[in-house]
Amino acid sequence: MTTPRAIRTVHTVAELRQQVGAWRAGGERVALVPTMGALHVGHVALMEAAKAHAERTVVTIFVNPTQFAPTEDLGRYPRTLEADLDKADGAGVALAFVPDVNEMYPEGFATTISLAGPALGLETDFRPTHFAGVATVVAKLLNQAAPDVALFGEKDYQQLQVVTRMARDLDLPARILGVPTVREADGLALSSRNVYLSAEDRAAAPALHRALTTAAAAIAGGADIAESIEAARRAVAAAGFALDYLEARHAATLAPVASRADGPIRLLVAARIGTTRLIDNLAVPD
């Protein structure tokens, strides 16, 4: 006999607001974990981290079409709702908001958020409309759920900086928190897209993290940034990846850096192996 889930699932903004309002009336704080589903251990880490900041956690499960370009994998993106709800329930999440596209983007929807700052370059050199779609849906979710805190994984580091800047610039009251990347034992960052990797590609994939680790250690030890980055690019290519970018950027603004004096440094990479595009990032130790 299947044990009933404790988590409640709602599909409309009205239901979401009604439940959050009831919690707030009882003096409880609310955390939000936005996801596109296909939940894995990395998502569960976000839900577990939320417990330190709020009595109630809301997870959203919505494959957001506006952040996919026409050439990208919206139709292929894994949809595993029942398994997702089981994982969220096991992590103690109180509410799952699972809207359909019409609930989030009703007929006549015509508004997007215009971005600059950390949204410029890197991902947008290859996916020009991506962050406009991300920022728009996240702004909607923050308004709909009105959380005290919202948690995002550092694996999508540029996204984290874009959302943080957007919330600050638009005076959205939720506090945006980053949660460290969860990795496999061999260093591969957990991602819903890892299921697309063939066995051969999966064996090669940890080269991304190794290249970042080597470059970060070299830069921390005083090596030239440009030379360290170029060596990392060569290592990634030698492992069979087609590189989109591998860059050293300021950790907060994502502006290019030339030396350690330019501020805290984050290394970011995006590369394709087989049919799968992987991203990763790593801080350069102080």
The order of strands in the sheet holding 265-273 is 242-250, 265-273, 276-283
Taking the C-alpha atoms of residue 174 and residue 178, their distance in angstroms, rounded to an integer, is 13
Task: Say if residue 25 carries a ligand binding annotation.
Answer: no
Relative to beta strand 149-153, strand 175-179 is parallel
Q: Residues with Cβ < 8 Å from 53, sequence gap 6 or more?
A: 29, 31, 148, 149, 151, 177
Task: Say if residue 37 carries a ligand binding annotation.
Answer: yes
Task: Say if residue 40 carries a ligand binding annotation.
Answer: yes
Task: Say if residue 114 carries a ligand binding annotation.
Answer: no
Catalytic residue of the set 43, 53, 209, 250: 43
Task: Say if residue 197 carries a ligand binding annotation.
Answer: no
Task: Say if residue 36 carries a ligand binding annotation.
Answer: yes
Catalytic: 11? Answer: no
Residues in the chain, how many?
286
Task: Say if residue 53 carries a ligand binding annotation.
Answer: no
Task: Say if residue 158 carries a ligand binding annotation.
Answer: no
> Residue 187 is encoded by which pair of tokens?
């260093």
Provide the β-strand partners of residue 268: 247, 281
**How far separated are the first and last CA of the chain, in Å rounded?**
54
Task: Say if residue 250 carries a ligand binding annotation.
Answer: no
Task: Say if residue 39 carries a ligand binding annotation.
Answer: yes
Task: Say if residue 211 carries a ligand binding annotation.
Answer: no
DSSP 5: P
Relative to beta strand 175-179, strand 242-250 is unpaired
Task: Say if residue 192 carries a ligand binding annotation.
Answer: yes
Task: Say if residue 51 carries a ligand binding annotation.
Answer: no
Question: Is-contact 224 284, C-beta < 8 A?
Answer: no
Q: Residue 241: exposed, middle, or buried by beta-carbon count in 10 A (0-12, 13-18, 19+)?
A: buried
Task: Say if residue 191 carries a ligand binding annotation.
Answer: yes
CA distances from 76 to 65, 72, 192, 193, 266 (A): 12, 9, 11, 10, 31
DSSP 78: -
The order of strands in the sheet holding 30-35 is 8-10, 95-97, 56-61, 30-35, 149-153, 175-179
Task: Say if residue 42 carries a ligand binding annotation.
Answer: yes
Task: Say if residue 153 carries a ligand binding annotation.
Answer: yes
Q: Residues annotated as binding site? A: 36-43, 67, 153-156, 159, 182, 190-193
- Which residues are catalytically annotated? 43
Q: Residues annotated as binding site for (R)-pantoate? A: 67, 159
Q: Residues annotated as binding site for ATP? A: 36-43, 153-156, 182, 190-193
Q: Residues annotated as binding site for beta-alanine? A: 67
